[in-house]
Each structure stands twice: as C-alpha cells, then as structure tokens.
Chain A
Amino acid sequence: MNAVIKTVMQRLGLGLITLFAVSIIIFSAVAMLPGDFAQAILGQAATPETVAAFDKQIGLDRPPVERYLHWIGGVLQGDFGDSFSSEGSLGGGHARTVISLIAPRLGNTLFLAGFAAIIAVPLSLGLGMLAALYRNSIFDRLINIVTLTSISVPEFFVAYILMLFLAVRWEVFYSLATVGPDTPLLERVSRCALPAMTLILVIVAHMMRMTRASIINLLASPYIETARLKGVSPSRIILRHALPNAWAPIATVIAVNLAYLVVGVVVVEVVFVYPGIGQLMVNSVSARDVPVVQACAMIFAVTYILLNLLADIVAIVTNPRLLHRR
C-alpha cells in the first residue's frame, strides 16, 4: 500500500510543478507583448500620458517577478484582473473584471461538455469493447471506416452538416444554441442538442478507437492466453483477469477524450453561437484582450492537466502490480 501512496504523491507533485510552469508560460504572455501594444489597443489617437497610464494599469512598470506573484495570487482567489476592452478601463474609469465576464459562461461550457460526456463515455466504451471482441468482423470493419472518417474531418464540418439536415432541412432542433441564465433546464437541453451531438460524434470516434485498441492489446497478452488455455470460463477471464488490468487504459482513454472535449468545445461554441468561454476566448483573441485570453487559457489548461493527472492516479491506484506487492 505504501508503494501506491508514494507513487501517487510523486505524480501529484509532478502535476503541481507542471501547473506552476504552465502558469508562468501563460503569464509571460503579457511580458512578451510587443512594445507598441498599448498604442495598438488604445488606438492611434492615444497621447503618451494615456499610454503610460495604461502601462501602469496593467503593471508593466513593475518587475516581472512581482507582477507574476500578484497575478497568481489573484488567480488563486478567483481574481483575473480587469478586461482591456471593456469600456471605461482605458480612461482609468471603472473596468469590467475578467471574472464577471467568465463566470456565467463557464457554467454554460461545463453544462455543454458534461452533457456530451454523459452520453459519449458509456456509448463509446460499449461500442469499443464490442468492436474488440468481434474484431475483423464486418461490424468491426464498418466501424473502423466510419470512425476513421469522422476523426479526420474538422468539427465545424460535422456541425454544419448536422445543422443543415437537423435544423434547416428538417426543423427538428434549434440551429443556434442561444441560452440565457434563466433558461429552464429542459429547454436548455433541447437548445444544446446540436452542439452536444457534434461533440459526441467527434469524441465517440476517438474514444471508441482507443478503447478497441487497448482491449485488443490486453486480450492478446500471454496471461489471458494462459487463462484461456487452462480452461477458465470467458466471463471469469474478463472479470478476474482482464478487468483489473483494464482500468488503467480505460481511465486514460476517458481522460484523454474529456481533455479533447475541452478543446473541441471552442470551435463548436463558435458555430452554434453558444455563450461559453470558448467563444469568449476567440472573441478576446480578435480584440487582443490579453487578461481574458490568459484567464480562459488558464482554465482550459488546468482542466486539461487535472484530467490527465486524474487518469494517471486511477492507473496507479488500480495497478495490480502495485497493489499486490511481494
């Protein structure tokens, strides 16, 4: 048991170091800004005084280490600073905080991603196992071609095809996923149907292929062969021999794909005009609103790292070689 705790602690420490390094990289975004950035944001008419005031406001007059500590301290308390582009921030007036822009949208994004994940995870694990058990059958080959095709097409292609057929040609679903803070749950689900469906189609293909590959890999290992040859019943092989070793690959498959969902959500939100943080991030990149982009990137990166960390920990904790140490 000690070995497990030790490995988990090591992995957690590594995760913390990664998070620290990533926060430095995202933070340095401001330090790497070209010198004329204030000019670009404020427009050609800005006087040297306004430029200096702006530099002071985003803290460019202080040393980087101090700025980083200030920034990360704020981030840990949920304060990402002020948005550049909101009105009033330029003249030194009252600026909108980044957190007030992000908070309502983060909920929307989590809802969409969660909605897609709840359907996609069981579906793809089931299909992947079926394809692995009946490998090289017609079913398997068909699924192979279909999934290979759907992982190689861009998300917006899938999205527009669904929109064209399910919202425009046949008006089954809403073509735009406009939801407000007080939209009731049922309507929210039906408005999110198309974006969720797009995400599900893309991620099921990925997840299924990975599940299939890891199960095939597992069933081909010598100890399964031995168990089969000594006459163990198929259900016992699956439950007692294969499953304990299968948790790790399955957890990895799920985590990798949920992490993939985090990125896929950006494009899908833009297509369906869904008010989530992916769309906010894209708009902020166009407006060169650095604090908002930093905050969004930080949220996406942290989610991504935590999911991978979680998968690694599940893999360590369920590893029979570590659990039953001699």
Chain B
Amino acid sequence: MSAEPEQAGGTMPTVDALAPATTADAVALPRRRTALQSAWRLLKTAPPTAWFGMLVLGAYFIVSIFAPLIAPYGEADIVGDQFAPWSSQFVFGTDQLGRDMLSRLIFGARNTIGIAVLTTAVSFSIGGTLGMLAAVLGGWVDQVLARLVDVLMAIPQLIFALVLLVIFGPSITNLILIIAVLDSTRVFRLTRAVAMNVVVQDFVEAARLQGEKIAWIMGREILPNILPPLVAEFGLRFCFVFLTIAALSFLGLGIQPPTADWGSMVRENSTLINYGDITPLLPAGAIALLTVAVNFVVDWFLHKTSGLKE
C-alpha cells in the first residue's frame, strides 16, 4: 500500500521484469510488456480520428525539420512574377512579391510551429513553476498569485495582447514573451489545482521533514505525479497559442516579414480570393489542419486517461 506513491516518482521496472521470461515468477504473473509493445497495443485501440491526427503531426514534423531540403526555392527568394498562377514550375504559384508559394508554405511550417512550440514551452515553465510554488508554499504567496491571475484572466487574451503590443511594438521576442505570459495564467490554474492534491500526500510531507529544498520537492516529488494532465494541457494550450499567434500575424501585428509565416501569408495574398483563387486558403488550411490534428489526438488522450465512458 505504502509503496504506491513512491513508485510513481521513479522509473517503471519494465526491463528487469521482462528479461527472465521463463522463471517461476513469470509463470505466476502475466508477463510484463515492453514500452514499445504496450504503446502498440494502445495505438491499436486508437480511433481513426486519433490516427489521422498522429499521421498529420508526423508529416508536419518531418516537413519542418527538413524544410531546406524539401523546399524547391529559398524562403525569401524572389523567383518569378507577382501572383503567378499554379504551374509545373511553381506548384502553388507565387505570392505578392513573386516568391514561391510552396517553398514559403514549407518554411512557414518551421517558423510558425517552432514559434508556437517555444511560446507554449515558455508559458508552461512560467505557469508550471508558479503553480507548483503556490501549491507547495501556500499562504500569502498562493493568495497573491491567484488574485493576480484572476485579474489577468479577466481581460480577453487577444485584447490584452494587442494592448501590450502597442506598448512594446511587434517583434518575435515580444510576441513570444507576451503570449507566453498571458497564456501561463491558465497553466498556473491547472498546475496549482492538480498539485494541491499531491502536496497533501504523505511522501511530500516526508520529503519536507527530511529537509529537502523546495526545488527538489517541486521537481522530484510533485512534477512526476502531475505530468499526465499537464501533457494533455500542453496539446490544448499549443493549439490556443498557435491560433492566437496566427491571428495576430494575420492582423499584421505578429511575425513580421520577410519571415515566412502562415498567418501573414493569408493576409498578404488575401486579394486573390476576390478572383476566385484558393491560394490564400492554403496557409489558412495548413493552420487549420494542424490544430484539428492536435485536437483529435488530445481528445483521445483525455478520453484514455480520464477513463470517461460517457
């Protein structure tokens, strides 16, 4: 009974249990599966929507890693006429300056997704650390942080971001910091809520009495036990951050040219819509496809971990 909370912090003893397959123990107990086997078992139960999501995510990942190898032209190279139609030379035509649309889409994957992942990571480091701190320390630290977050959350995020952007001016660093700080409020709330349940358990008390430092308690005792909900939240927050950045870039206040970015590509080429051309929808569709994919995967993950049968 008492072993249960400790074990969650360490690594699972899968490897030792698997090696002597024919010992007496193995007969009595069902054989432990390797991580790969259980992952495959889990994947087999995944609904088609989750499969679709994972395939899309994999494809995006490969494209953004190998962007310079895949793209036929450079990110900001002017290679043809303005607004050239789709052809064998330029698969999706060219944009308002004569840059190859396909190449910019491919480089855009790298920039847009990279910046969103970075922002979400910063947001989680801020929100997660403060959330755990509030749970561990309690008292006035908790009160002050919680009230501050309440006030920050009372202003719509996009509006708040616009106010901060008018002060600091649009640049990629400002964008990442502003969105990360605003988004960390939600991470803070979740982390604090789940960490509260862990803080009251005996093993945390034991670590405290042992005289462990706060950083150790947060990183080694609490974090491993609150990881699953945080992972699911990471997916959802990523979607939200990604859409916010795309919206700001679309409004001309996010990622600045000549960096290829899907949001601003939609804006720059939006006049083509009036001629019935679907080219501006390609970057918008790329954004949509990615968030849909993440949502499908997270939806399944949540369903799995929460054990909801509905």
* A contacts, CB < 8 Å to B: 18, 21-22, 25-26, 29, 32-34, 135-136, 145, 148-149, 151-157, 160-161, 163-164, 168-169, 175, 216, 259, 262-263, 266-267, 270-271, 281-282, 284-286, 288-290, 293-294, 296-297, 300-301, 304-305, 308
Contact = CB atoms under 8 A, between A and B. Distances in A.
Contacts of B29: none
Contacts of A304: 154-156, 159
A210 B69 CA distance: 44
Given A152-B291, A153-B287, A301-B154, A160 B162 contact: no
Contact of B155 (A154, A286, A301): A301
A290 B250 CA distance: 21
A136 B276 contact: no
B310 A160 contact: no
Contacts of B280: 160
Interface stretch (B7-15, B94-102, B163-171, B222-230): B163-171
A97 B168 CA distance: 24
Contacts of B274: 168, 175
B251 interface: yes
Given A152-B243, A296-B159, A304-B155, 15 more contacts: A21-B154, A148-B299, A153-B287, A156-B266, A157-B281, A157-B285, A160-B266, A160-B281, A168-B274, A263-B157, A267-B251, A284-B166, A285-B162, A293-B166, A308-B154
A33 B291 contact: no
B296 interface: yes
A142 to B, nearest CB: 12
A164 B310 CA distance: 39
A148 B281 contact: no
B239 interface: yes
Given A157-B288, A168-B276, A293-B163, A152 B295 contact: yes
B156 A136 contact: no
A203 to B, nearest CB: 14
B156 A293 contact: no
B292 interface: yes
B159 A154 contact: no
A21 B292 CA distance: 36
B154 A163 contact: no
B125 interface: no
B259 interface: no
A163 B250 contact: no
Given A164-B276, A267-B247, A281-B162, A153 B151 contact: no
Interface in B268-310: 270, 273-276, 278, 280-281, 284-285, 287-288, 291-292, 294-296, 299, 310
A107 to B, nearest CB: 19
A5 B73 CA distance: 68
B276 A169 contact: yes
Nearest to B157: A263
Q: Which 9 A-B pairs have the closest CB atoms?
A: A153-B288, A157-B284, A152-B291, A21-B151, A263-B156, A300-B159, A152-B295, A293-B166, A285-B166
Contact of A25 (B151, B165, B263): B151
A160 B154 contact: no
Nearest to B295: A152
Contact of B251 (A160, A168, A216, A282): A282
B150 interface: yes
Contacts of A169: 276
A136 B296 CA distance: 17
B187 interface: no
Instruction: Specify which of B49, B280, B284 lies most central, judged by the most chain A CB atoms within 10 Å of its CB.
Output: B284
Given A29-B167, A168-B274, A285-B165, A297 B251 contact: no
Instruction: Specify which of A149, A160, A281, A285 lies most central, judged by the most chain B CB atoms within 10 Å of its CB.
Output: A285
Contacts of A284: 166
B154 A18 contact: yes
13 contacts: A18-B154, A21-B154, A33-B167, A135-B310, A154-B263, A154-B287, A157-B285, A169-B276, A267-B251, A282-B253, A293-B166, A296-B159, A305-B154
A160 B243 CA distance: 16
Nearest to B294: A152
A198 to B, nearest CB: 13
A258 to B, nearest CB: 12
B273 A26 contact: no
Nearest to B281: A160
B135 interface: no
A66 B169 CA distance: 27
A151 B298 CA distance: 14
B51 to A, nearest CB: 14
Contacts of A293: 162-163, 166
A161 B247 contact: no
Interface string B147-161: 000111011111110
B139 to A, nearest CB: 21
Contact of A263 (B159, B167, B246): B159
A286 B288 contact: no
B252 interface: yes
A294 B159 CA distance: 10
Contacts of A21: 151, 154
Contacts of B263: 154
B290 to A, nearest CB: 9
